[in-house]
Homo-oligomer: A and B are copies of this chain.
Amino acid sequence: MTAATTGAPGTTANTAAPAYAKTDRTVPSRSRERAHYDRETVHSILDAAYLCHLGFVRDGAPVVLPTLYARVGERLYIHGSTGSRPLLAAGKADPGLPVCVTVTHVDGLVLAKSAFHHSINYRSVVVHGTAYQVTDEAEARTALDALVDQVVPGRAADSRPANAKELAATAVIRLDLEEVSAKIRTGGVNDEPEDLALPYWSGVVPVTRTYGTPIPSEGQDPALTTPDYLAAL
C-alpha cells in the first residue's frame, strides 16, 4: 500500500491491518530497532500531542511550520486561514500537496559518560503523504471540533461552534495515515564499558510537559469557574 495508490480524495485507509506497511521512506537509515509501525503505538503518540511540524516544498525548497493538528481515525486534519500558503497550495494543487507531518515528544535527557553517547529519550511520528483540502462542510466541522478537542479533550462541546463567516475564513486539509512510522528511544544510558569508571555522572533527566493554573479572561462572569476538563490535563 503506497500513498500513490490510496491517497486520492475520498479513499479510505485499510484500517483492518494492525500495522502500517513499511515503505522506503518509513524505514530509517539508522537505529531501526527504534522504529515502530503498529497503529496502536502511532495513535498513542499522535493522541498525546496537538502541535505538529508541517513540511512542504515551496519553489523547490523545504518549509517547516509549527501548527495544530487533530487525528480522527486514520486521518490527520490541519487548519488555518484560507490565506495561508500551504493551505492555499493544498487547495490549488492537483492532486494535492505533498507533505510530511512530524510530531515529537521529548521524554528525557540522556547524559552519558562520553559526549558521543549523549541522547534524548523521545517518541516521534512521521507521516508522509499528500494533503487535500476538505470541501465537505460536515467533514470540515468534524475536523474543527477535533482540532479543539485534540488540545483540550471535551472543550469543543463547551465553546461556540464556528459560524458561517468563520467557517468560510478557515481552510482545513486532511492527510490519510498510510505511510507512517513511529520512532521511540526509551530507557537508560548506553555507556561504553571502558567509560564506566570515568568521574562523570551518568543518568537520565525526565522531561515532562506541565500545565499551570488556568488564568481566566478579565471581566468574565465570575460564576464561570474553571472547567473540570482542564483539571484532567
Contact = CB atoms under 8 A, between A and B. Distances in A.
A8 interface: no
Given A29-B85, A106-B51, A215 B203 contact: yes
Interface string A173-204: 00000000000000011010001111111111
B64 A57 contact: no
B84 A30 contact: yes
Interface of A: 25, 29-30, 51, 53-58, 60-66, 68, 80-81, 83-85, 98-102, 104, 106, 109, 111-116, 118, 120, 122, 124, 126, 128, 144-145, 147-148, 151-152, 155-156, 158-163, 166, 170, 188-189, 191, 195-221, 224-227, 230, 233
22 contacts: A51-B106, A53-B66, A57-B62, A62-B62, A62-B98, A63-B100, A65-B102, A109-B151, A109-B152, A109-B211, A115-B148, A115-B156, A115-B160, A115-B162, A116-B166, A118-B151, A158-B200, A158-B201, A188-B215, A197-B221, A201-B216, A205-B215
